[in-house]
Structure formats: structure tokens, C-alpha cells
Amino acid sequence: MGRILLAVFLMALVSYLPRVLPMIFLRKRIQSPFFQSFLSYVPYAVLGAMTFPAILYATGDTASALVGLSVALLLAFYEKGLMTVAICAVLAVYVFQFFAL
């Protein structure tokens, strides 16, 4: 058990370091326009990378995932809240799978 806890501690350490080091050492705003621009695109790139193509495998079958994806796209296009979009997509997948199976 001691070895496992040591492993957990090391995992926690290497999970925290990449998060905290930039916060400590980069307290000044970055001046380079290129790097500023680069960093400003990070959240959008991360979102795109996390969502596609992973969403297609999120529900166990591609058909229901496509249904959920379409519902989410439609509601997001009309700028509904995060909660609304999330819950409606889950319901759509659930109902679709209920009738498809």
C-alpha cells in the first residue's frame, strides 16, 4: 500500500506542475503579438480536438451519437445555455437508443 500511495503522490505532483509553473513564472503579460495570437486560439483548438472525432464514440453507437451531435449543434447554433444543450443531447440519445433497440 505504501508503494501505491507513493505512486499516487507522484502522479499528483506531475499533474500539478504543468498547471502551476506558468502561473508562477509568467506573471507578466506576454508581449509578442504572434505568441499572444497563438495563445488566444488555444481554447478553440482544444475544444475542436477534444470533441472531434471523440463525440462519435461517446454513446456506444455512431447513429445515436450523430443524433446527439445534431441536437447539440442545432441548440448551440441558437445559443442556448450549456446546461440546456447538454441535457437535451443526453435525452435525444436516450430516446433514440430506446426506440432503436
Partner 1 sequence: MKIQRQGRNLQAPLFFSRTRTKIRFTEDFRLGFRHGLPIALGYIPVSFAFGLLAVKGGLPAWVATLISLTNLTSAGQFAGTNLILAGASLLEITFTTLIINLRYLLMSLSLAQKLAPDLTLVQRTMLAFGITDETFTVAALEKTEITFSYMLGLIVGPYVGWGTGTLLGGIVCTLLPPTLQNALGITLYAMFIALVLPPTKKSRSILLVVAVAALVSSILTWLPVFRFLSAGWRITIVTIIACLFGAKFFPNGSHQQ
39 contacts partner 1 (rule: CB under 8 A): yes
63 contacts partner 1 (rule: CB under 8 A): no
97 exposure class (CB count in 10 Å sphere: 0-12, 13-18, 19+): middle
19 contacts partner 1 (rule: CB under 8 A): yes
99 contacts partner 1 (rule: CB under 8 A): no
45 contacts partner 1 (rule: CB under 8 A): yes
Q: Which one among 2, 49, 63, 99 touches partner 1, defined by CB under 8 A?
A: 49
